[in-house]
Amino acid sequence: MTGTPAEIKACCAASYGSDAVALLLGESYHPGGLSLTRRLAERLRLRSGHRVVDVAAGPGATARLLAADYDVTVDGVDLGEEGIARARAATEQAGLAAQVRFHLGDAERIPLPDGGFDAVVCECAFCTFPDKAMAAAEFARVLRPGGRVGITDVTIAGHGLPQELTTLTAWVACIADARPLDEYVALLEAAGLRAVHTEHHDEALIRMIDEIEARLRLLRMTAPRRLADAGVDVDAVLRHTTLAREAVTDGVLGYALLIAEKQLVSAYTS
C-alpha cells in the first residue's frame, strides 16, 4: 500500500526539500548527475535563447547549468516549497536570477502558458507522478510544435520488485512506480509526443547508489549528529540501497534517457 495520489505528492515534495535528502544526494537529485544532464541538453538540441521548462526542478542545479552553459531561459516547476526556496536562493547566489525562475506547481497542472516553450526537461521525477498521462499531456501543452521533451528516469523490467521496494519511501525514491521504458514511450506518444531517441544508463543508477552509501558511511563516522538531526535512519537507507543495487544487477531496475518531439499537429486537446 503506497498512499493516495495527494499523499504521495505531499510526501515527495516534503522529502526532497529536506536536509536528509540534501545530505545524501549532494548537488543534483538524479542518477548520472550533471554530465547526464549535459547529454540530455545535447539530445534536446538546446540553442541560445531557447525557453526551457524544468518539470520537478528540485534544487535547481539542472536549471542553472542549462542557463549558464546553453544560454537558455529556464522556468523550473516543483511541488516542494522548501525545495523551491533553496533553488531560488542558490540561483540568486549564482547570479542567474534573470535567466532562471522557479514556480510552485504540480507537474500534472503546470502553471505556465500553452505552446510557449522549446523544450521540457524532467529528470528522475516522471516515475513519481501518480497521473503520468496527465503530466505527459501537460508537457505537450506547454511545448511549441516541434519542441522536444527530454526525460531521464528509473525503468523497471522483468518480474517486479521485492516487497520492501514498493513502499511509500520507495515511491518517493523513484522506484516503486517506475515503468518499463516502452510504457514511458507509450505515455508520451498518447499525448502527441513522438519518441525520437532512447538510451540506457543503468550504470548511472549503480554509481548513484554507491555515492549515497559512501556519503552515508562518511557522515556516520564524521558527523553522526548531523545525520540524526536530519532524521536519517542509516540502517534503513542501507537496506534499501542494498536491495536497489541487487535489483539493478538482476536487470529489474534501470535508468534511461528518452527524447520525444511534439508533432506539428498535436494529439493534445484541452
Residues lying near ligand SAM in the complex (CB under 6 A) are found at: 9, 12-13, 16, 28-30, 56-59, 61-62, 77-80, 83, 106-108, 123-125, 128-129, 174
Q: Which residue has the cell 500500500?
A: 1
| Nearest residue to ligand SAM, by Cβ distance, number only | 58
Q: Cβ–Cβ contacts within 10 Å for residue 100, how many? A: 28
Provide the minimum distance between the beta carbon of 216 and ligand SAM in the complex, in angstroms, as a whole number.
Answer: 17
Residue closer to ligand SAM by CB (options 103, 263) is 103
* Distance of closest approach, residue 62 Cβ to ligand SAM, in angstroms: 6
- Supply the minimum distance, in Å, between the C-beta of residue 36 and ligand SAM: 9
Nearer to ligand SAM, 30 or 50 (CB): 30
| Class of residue 95 by CB neighbours under 10 A (exposed 0-12, middle 13-18, buried 19+) | exposed
71: left (phi over 0), alpha (psi -120 to 50) or beta: left
Q: Which is nearer to ligand SAM, 147 or 150 (CB)?
A: 150
Helices (H), ranges, the chain: 5-16, 19-25, 33-44, 61-70, 81-93, 132-142, 168-172, 181-190, 202-222, 224-229, 234-249
Residue number, 122 or 228, with CB nearest to ligand SAM: 122
- Least distance to ligand SAM from the beta carbon of 225, Å? 26
Helix/strand/coil for 114 = coil
Instruction: Report in angstroms how near the CB of residue 264 gets to ligand SAM at its nearest.
Output: 28
Write b or e for each residue in 213-234: b if 16 or more Cβ atoms lie within 10 A of its Cβ, otherwise e: bebbeebeeeeeeebeebebee
Query: Looking at beta carbons only, is 125 or 143 nearer to ligand SAM?
Result: 125
